Amino acid sequence: LEAPRPVVREAPPVQYGPLELRRREGGGGAHCWQTLHPSEFEVRGANYLRDGKKLPSDQTSSLLAVELFQSADTVYNVAGRPGAPTASLAARATEHPIRSVLVVNLVIPAQEGVYQLVFYFGVWAGDEGSGHATLLERFCSGSDAFRNARFKILPNVSEGSWLVKNGVGSTPALLGKTLKQRFHRGEGYFEVDVDCNSSPAAGRVVSLVKSYAKSLVVDLAFVIEAQSASELPERVIGCGRLAHIELNEARIPSFEAHSGA
């Protein structure tokens, strides 16, 4: 007799929340996000303290959801609210099992109130005990001073005008040196809230990006800076691409209208 064939269960379609951006499929689309492999970004290599070399990052997480909404007042601890994508992310992680969620909440000034751009990264299971996993745990459980000294962004405008590319640059920046940050640890997640208008220089860059946002494709990566041999090599802890985002009130949903969702 022929052996019974295994039953293959397809993952159910993603049920997007009312504040979520749609995922970009293929090479086209606007007002959406796309996954990136972290090898697109160079980070400190294993021998960085000796040779100063940066190398493409290995992958340790997956971008699973992005929210974009407007609010009259800044919403902190976004991932802990009822209706947040946080609880459903394990089911979306078809690429690799995850052990926790890292959330980065970028607070951007709007004409009235703020826009909030929220990334949800699933941190892969299976590398516990490695240098970068230990560093991430130190970051999540450490002091705010430690966190502010280590949380780094790597920006890149992959499509857009020279003016914006020059203004944004591609140099890694420690966000806590110039911007106000808040941190929240909840069940299964850790959130970093970044006030992108809390320094004049950053405010000018954000204003420039907002003016051209619809014509831009922007890549972002986040890293916990390694400063000792035991913490190297660095790893991108989350990255993604934003394509042709429309920063206007008509396109972006209101948090207050969906706060009970």
CB 120 within 8 A of CB 63: yes
pLDDT the model gives residue 13? 62
Ranges of residues in the chain whose predicted pLDDT is under 50 = 1, 6-10, 261
In this predicted structure, what is the pLDDT of residue 9? 42
| Nearest C-alpha neighbor of 194 from the set 111, 117, 113 | 117
What local confidence, expressed as pLDDT, does residue 258 receive?
85
Q: What is the pLDDT of residues 135-191, one digit of tens each?
A: 999 999 999 999 999 999 999 999 999 999 999 999 999 999 999 999 999 999 999
Task: Evaluate whether 176 touches 148 at the Cβ level (below 8 Å).
Answer: yes
Distance CA 169, CA 202 (A): 12
DSSP letter at 232? P
- List CB contacts of 133: < 8 A, sequence separation 6 or more: 60, 127
The predicted pLDDT at position 14 comes to 67
Task: State residue 5's pLDDT score.
Answer: 52
